[in-house]
Homo-oligomer: A and B are copies of this chain.
Amino acid sequence: MPKKLRPQDITILLVRPRYPGNIGSTCRVLKNMGLTKLHLVRPSVLPTHPESLRLAVGAADLAKKAKVFGTLEEATQGLRYLIGTSRRTGKYRRDFVNLPELGTKLPIGQKVGILFGSEEKGLTNKELAVCHLVTTIPSNPDYPSLNLAQSVAVVAYQLRLLMQAGLPAIEGKTFELASVEEVEGMFQHLEKALSAIGFLEHKNAFHLMRTIRQLFGRTQMNDREVRIFRGICRQVLWATKKEPLSK
């Protein structure tokens, strides 16, 4: 019996959306598909802008309760698994899934955030690096650039199917995932430790960290695993005399 995806576990995040119409259209289609949680990171206007409300039509309630944040970090607090949407699948972005197969990767019963970038450039590399997974909407290679609200529509439709039909069972994915903040804290700890051993003096340090982030992102770490890795980092920092072990 597949477990159903629950709407309350999904948060849609628009990162730096520029056109109020896209914010309103996003509200409308999210409500159409039974989704209710919308976070906006540095939007050009508030979701209650008249043009946004005009396009939200019957979903003004969603526009009014959408949350606005100054940073992506704040907007993702409490979420356990972040999925970026991007049509670029560069060589450093191996942990990606085609949208129709998204259900095979969603952790059951966890708080999931789905990120959409700005109309002009999409998500930046830095924003994508924070995501555990990147998903791509299948499209015409000659003209792959979808309108923001259209992208949300297609992704929300795919999520609706998963809410109705259920997720494919994933073995061993029923533990509690570590939160985004916990994993981020671990990465920062790790970066410090890797610096301490001189590993990040390499000219490809940024790419190396990205690869490490992707590797951990893919594994969907739980609390205990995060604690273990932070223990290793502490040990490294103590061994290189940068910090006392008691910290």
Contact = CB atoms under 8 A, between A and B. Distances in A.
Contact of A138 (B28, B146, B153, B161): B161
A150 B28 contact: yes
A138 B32 CA distance: 9
Given A28-B150, A150-B25, A161-B100, A145 B34 contact: no
A140 B31 contact: yes
Contacts of A138: 157, 160-161, 164
A30 to B, nearest CB: 9
Contact of A34 (B31, B33, B55, B140): B140
Interface string A6-33: 0000000000000000000100110111
Nearest to A137: B157
Contact of A147 (B25, B34, B144): B25
Contacts of A165: 100
A233 B23 CA distance: 56
A245 interface: no
A58 B150 contact: no
Say which size band chain A's interface belongs to: 20 to 34
A139 interface: yes
A59 interface: yes
A143 interface: yes
A143 B28 CA distance: 9
B161 A32 contact: no
A33 B100 CA distance: 14
A154 interface: yes
Contact of A157 (B29, B33, B144, B157): B157
A149 interface: yes
B34 A139 contact: yes
